[in-house]
């Protein structure tokens, strides 16, 4: 393996990561916009949706749990189960059923938060 092939493969990897970085940034901005509206409906400042860890804390609080339970997101496997509980509680707080919560707030959360944030759903504290 020569130096030139190493540099070329490194350049290929860098361009690959730059493409996925743009997709990730666009996805993050879309989720932040959706969460902004959800937070405002729940009575929190919408700007908190931009801050990465804080938005999880606020989602847990909207679900009616203690903010300390956000630490459960750091434990593998437990984070998936806890995210499901949070999704069901948020769905119930906005008047949505279990199927909506499972598919649109847990499996495809970015779509579900747009539906809740820009739809007619109203927040009732759990």
Task: Look at 11-20, 27-36, 64-73 and tell me which has the smallest mean pLDDT.
Answer: 11-20
pLDDT of 88 > 60? The answer is yes
- Would you state the pLDDT for residue 67? 95
Which is more confident, 122 or 7? 122
- Would you state the pLDDT for residue 102? 95
| Digit-coded pLDDT (tens) for 16-53 | 667 777 888 889 999 999 999 999 999 999 999 999 99
CA dist 94 and 64 (Å) reads 12
CA dist 75 and 21 (Å) reads 25
The pTM (predicted TM-score) of the whole model is 0.82
Would you mind telling me the total number of residues written for the chain in this entry?
126
Do 47 and 40 contact (CB within 8 A), yes or no? no
CB burial of 34-63 (b: ≥16 within 10 Å; e: otherwise) equals bbbbbbbbbebebebbeeeeebbbbbbbbb
- Would you state the pLDDT for residue 20? 73
pLDDT of 85 > 60? The answer is yes
pLDDT of 7 > 60? The answer is no
β strands within 1-126, DSSP E: none
- Would you state the pLDDT for residue 25? 87
Which is more confident, 9 or 35? 35
């Amino acid at each position: 393996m020569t130096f030139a092939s190493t540099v070329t493969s490194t350049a290929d990897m860098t361009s690959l990561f730059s493409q996925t970085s743009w997709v990730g940034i666009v996805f993050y901005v879309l989720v932040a916009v959706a969460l902004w509206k959800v937070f405002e409906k729940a009575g929190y400042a919408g700007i908190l949706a931009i801050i990465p860890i804080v938005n999880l804390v606020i989602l847990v609080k909207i679900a009616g749990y203690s903010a300390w339970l956000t630490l459960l997101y750091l434990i593998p496997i437990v984070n998936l189960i806890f995210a499901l509980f949070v999704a069901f509680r948020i769905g119930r707080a906005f008047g949505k059923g279990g199927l909506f919560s499972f598919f649109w707030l847990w499996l495809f959360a970015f779509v579900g938060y747009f539906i809740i944030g820009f739809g007619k759903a109203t927040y009732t504290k759990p």
